[in-house]
């Protein structure tokens, strides 16, 4: 038995091949692990001769060990009598295989005095804790640089952090606990069996951001190009399940080349498991995707299912099919950056919520975003006070709006004047800019803001702005964040393209999102509130808890000029001076109808307020509504007009 054990140890360099001994006698048994292998010993109760049937699992292509010796069959049972003469040369001081070991010429069945079984067991266990820790550290050192130093240097040369460096930078210092560090794939074919790096190309674990628990996974481009295989996917499944079970945010740092081709359908199955978990976790815990390299093919759908997507300018790319495929199929010439770069997705497709110039700034932004969000849908967002008085007056707002209602102004100046410290984190800042959405705080409490932007297309609602705002409203509602709207909307965008592309259906998404939201909702009308667009923008008629208007507010079916043209069309045609009559009728319409006072008389708004008191009123109103409880009708789910 020991001869065969020595052969395995010699050939494998003290490897982890199993040695199993099957007891033919009755008596006590001891199981000893040596270098990950198994040695089972037993003796008669009187300590007599140890007789076994032993076998060793070995690959048939193993070389014969130095010093000769019979190579046993793959699973050949033999009768073994281990003796001191056979056992002694196996050890060198601390129990390691002696470098000068040679095979003694002893018959395997020679009846010699045997070793005490307990002595044999103890000898095989004779490794100090420091030696075992050295071996552990050696393995973990390999895992920490699983891709190799050359690949890491190439990665750094591109101005990119490694997967592990990203995690360490994102999380609080010394808070990361890695899981499955020593995982390796068990696939074969196309040479995969010869390359089995630790981590399998993804780092997973949990830690803290600003003292709050999070789960994180980070794909390692230096290992298989970050491509996802079965083990890689299972690690992500495991950490996503933990995040959902424990009710903490999940952050994915994506830098991979899609599914691992060598593993075939197993990789696709792993992707399906990720998508399934994304959908299950939606609205339960915040899900954040950070694109730090390529994200192509089916891999893009996991980020698309998450709540927020961050990208880095010039280094992040997302696309279903690359430029070569596009050219082959459609004949279009397009660069990688034009097709799926960060700016493309931030300005044209609306896929990216945030774009930053480098990796560290994007990870800083992730930390900042999490400060506005709760850990899960059963908690409230954290309160962060900065010393900004809740009752502070905003006197600059009295002079912000231009005299002419047709002149633009910057709604972001209204927002930053009202919120704590002027701190406003805009989401989708460069997409559908006629509406602005973002997070801020009032009296330390998180709020979500949805506001028309008169500086861009007069703040009109169209397909893109409706989708952008609807998505944001649903995110706020899912995570218990009150919604405040600043309204200055002249209507929906007219035009053939808008109608053909479904402005009715897409506009209904925003309407549905507000109607379904159960969080506290407050509406502030600053100027124009015309037609159906006013109703859609969180009006009191669709469930806003409180609605206020500035004295400059104009609540009407449409603008005064359009109303006069329709209502007084015949009078204008018959008039000798239609221009003078039109001006007179418009002035009369504005004074009689385009004011907030008729709406206040009817209770369609709760008060007309001094713009300077906007922050004070919002603070008091939000404090009152904080205990709001509203349940939707019992149902499986609503049918959103997707």
- Predicted confidence band at 571 (pLDDT cuts at 50, 70, 90)? confident
Q: Which residues contact 276 (CB under 8 A, 6 or more apart)?
A: none
User: pLDDT tens for residues 282-337?
Assistant: 999 999 999 999 998 888 999 999 999 999 999 999 999 889 899 999 989 999 99
Is 27 catalytic? The answer is no
- Predicted confidence band at 589 (pLDDT cuts at 50, 70, 90)? confident
Higher per-residue confidence, 587 vs 161: 161
Q: What is the pLDDT of residue 108?
A: 41
Average pLDDT over the chain reads: 83
- Predicted confidence band at 624 (pLDDT cuts at 50, 70, 90)? very high
Give the active site residue among 143, 469, 513, 533.
533
Q: What is the pLDDT of residue 127?
A: 77
Q: What is the pLDDT of residue 3?
A: 42
Report d(CA 311, CA 290) in Å as an integer.
Answer: 6
Phi-psi category of 474—alpha, beta or left, where left has phi over 0 and alpha has psi -120 to 50? Answer: alpha
Q: Which residues contact 174 (CB under 8 A, 6 or more apart)?
A: none
25 pLDDT above the threshold of 90: no
Higher per-residue confidence, 522 vs 24: 522
- Predicted confidence band at 122 (pLDDT cuts at 50, 70, 90)? low
Q: What is the pLDDT of residue 439?
A: 98
Place of tokens 């199981």: 31
| Dihedral angle, C-alpha 534, 536, 541, 545, nearest 10 ° | -100
Residues of the chain with pLDDT > 90, as a percent, come to 62
Q: What is the pLDDT of residue 167?
A: 97
Q: What is the pLDDT of residue 36?
A: 36
Q: What is the pLDDT of residue 592?
A: 82
- Predicted confidence band at 587 (pLDDT cuts at 50, 70, 90)? confident
User: What does DSSP assign to residue 73?
Assistant: P
409 pLDDT above the threshold of 70: yes
The answer to whether 502 and 508 are in contact (CB under 8 A) is: no
| Domains of the chain, first to last | 2-127 (no CATH), 146-370 (3.90.226.10), 395-558+597-625 (3.90.226.10), 560-593 (no CATH)
Q: What is the pLDDT of residue 53?
A: 35
Mean pLDDT along residues 397-411: 93
Give the active site residue among 247, 298, 350, 531.
298
User: pLDDT tens for residues 63-91?
Assistant: 444 544 444 444 444 444 444 344 444 44
Mean pLDDT along residues 381-406: 94
Give the active site residue among 95, 247, 532, 543.
532
Q: What is the pLDDT of residue 123?
A: 53
Give the active site residue among 67, 273, 283, 297.
297
pTM of the model: 0.80
Is 297 catalytic? The answer is yes
Q: What is the pLDDT of residue 525?
A: 97
Length reported for the chain:
642
- Among 9-13, 330-334, 486-490, 596-600, which stretch is predicted with the lowest mean pLDDT? 9-13
Helix, strand or coil, per DSSP, at residue 215: strand
Q: What is the pLDDT of residue 632?
A: 84
120 pLDDT above the threshold of 90: no
268 pLDDT above the threshold of 80: yes
Q: What is the pLDDT of residue 526?
A: 97
Higher per-residue confidence, 39 vs 427: 427
Q: What is the pLDDT of residue 62?
A: 43
User: pLDDT tens for residues 231-249?
Assistant: 999 999 999 999 999 999 9
43 pLDDT above the threshold of 70: no
371 pLDDT above the threshold of 60: yes
Mean pLDDT along residues 421-432: 96
Higher per-residue confidence, 106 vs 343: 343
Q: What is the pLDDT of residue 289?
A: 97
- Reduce the secondary structure of 11-66 to three states and give it as a string: HHCCCCCCEEEEECCCCEEEEEEECCEEEEEEECCCCCCCCEEEEECCCCCCCCCC
Mean pLDDT along residues 532-536: 95
């Amino acid at each position: 038995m020991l001869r065969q054990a020595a052969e395995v140890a010699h050939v494998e360099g003290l490897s982890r091949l199993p040695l199993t001994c099957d007891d033919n006698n009755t008596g006590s048994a001891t199981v000893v692990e040596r270098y990950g292998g198994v040695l089972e010993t037993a003796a008669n109760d009187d300590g007599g001769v140890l007789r076994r049937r032993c076998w060793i699992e070995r690959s048939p292509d193993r070389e014969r060990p130095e010093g000769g010796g019979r190579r046993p069959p793959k699973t050949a049972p033999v009768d073994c009598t281990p003796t001191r003469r056979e056992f002694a040369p196996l050890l060198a001081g601390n129990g390691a295989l002696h470098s000068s070991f040679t095979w003694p010429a002893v018959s395997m069945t020679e009846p010699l005095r045997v070793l005490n079984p307990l002595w044999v067991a103890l000898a095989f266990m004779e490794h100090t804790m420091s030696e075992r820790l050295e071996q552990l550290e050696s393995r973990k050192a390999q895992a920490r640089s699983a891709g190799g130093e050359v690949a890491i240097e190439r990665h750094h040369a591109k101005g990119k952090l490694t997967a592990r460096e990203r995690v360490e930078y994102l999380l609080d210092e010394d808070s990361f606990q890695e899981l499955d560090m020593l995982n390796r794939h068990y696939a074969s074919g196309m040479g995969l069996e010869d390359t089995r790096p630790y981590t399998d190309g993804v780092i997973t674990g949990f830690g803290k951001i600003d003292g709050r628990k999070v789960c994180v996974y980070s794909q390692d481009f230096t290992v298989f190009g970050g491509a996802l295989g079965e083990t890689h996917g299972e690690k992500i499944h495991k950490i996503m399940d933990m995040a959902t079970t424990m009710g903490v945010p999940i952050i994915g740092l994506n830098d991979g080349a899609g599914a691992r081709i060598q593993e075939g359908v197993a990789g696709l199955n792993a992707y399906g498991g990720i998508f399934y978990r994304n959908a299950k976790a939606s609205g339960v815990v915040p899900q954040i995707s950070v694109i730090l390299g390529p994200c192509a093919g089916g891999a893009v759908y996991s980020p698309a299912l998450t709540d927020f997507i961050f990208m880095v300018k010039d280094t992040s790319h997302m696309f279903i099919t690359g430029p070569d495929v596009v050219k082959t199929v459609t004949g279009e010439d397009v660069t990688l950056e034009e097709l799926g770069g960060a700016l493309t997705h931030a300005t044209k497709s609306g896929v990216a919520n945030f774009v930053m110039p480098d990796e560290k700034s994007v990870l800083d932004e992730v930390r900042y975003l999490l400060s506005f969000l709760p850990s899960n849908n059963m908690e409230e967002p954290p309160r962060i006070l900065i010393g900004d008085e809740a009752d502070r007056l905003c006197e600059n707002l009295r002079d912000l709006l231009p005299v002419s209602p047709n002149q633009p102004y910057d709604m972001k100046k209204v927002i930053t004047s009202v919120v704590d410290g002027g701190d406003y984190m805009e989401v989708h800042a460069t997409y559908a800019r006629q509406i602005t959405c973002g997070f801020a705080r009032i009296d330390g409490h998180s709020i979500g803001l949805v506001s028309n932007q008169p500086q861009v297309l007069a703040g009109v609602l169209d397909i893109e702005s409706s989708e952008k705002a609807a998505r944001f409203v649903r995110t706020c509602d899912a995570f218990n964040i009150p919604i405040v709207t600043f309204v200055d909307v002249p209507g929906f965008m007219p035009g053939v393209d808008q109608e053909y592309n479904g402005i009715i259906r897409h506009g209904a998404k925003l309407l549905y999102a507000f109607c379904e939201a159960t969080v506290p909702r407050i509406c502030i009308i600053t100027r124009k509130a015309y037609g159906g667009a006013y109703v859609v923008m969180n009006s009191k008629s669709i469930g806003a808890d409180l609605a206020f208007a500035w004295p400059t507010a104009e609540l009407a079916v449409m603008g005064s000029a359009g109303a006069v043209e329709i209502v007084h069309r015949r009078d204008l045609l018959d008039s000798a001076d239609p221009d003078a009559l039109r001006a007179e009728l418009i002035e009369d319409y504005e004074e009689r109808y385009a004011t907030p006072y008729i709406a206040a008389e009817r209770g369609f708004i709760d008060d007309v307020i001094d713009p300077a008191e906007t922050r004070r009123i919002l603070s008091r109103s939000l404090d009152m509504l904080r205990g709001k409880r509203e349940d939707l009708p019992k149902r499986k789910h609503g049918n959103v007009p997707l």
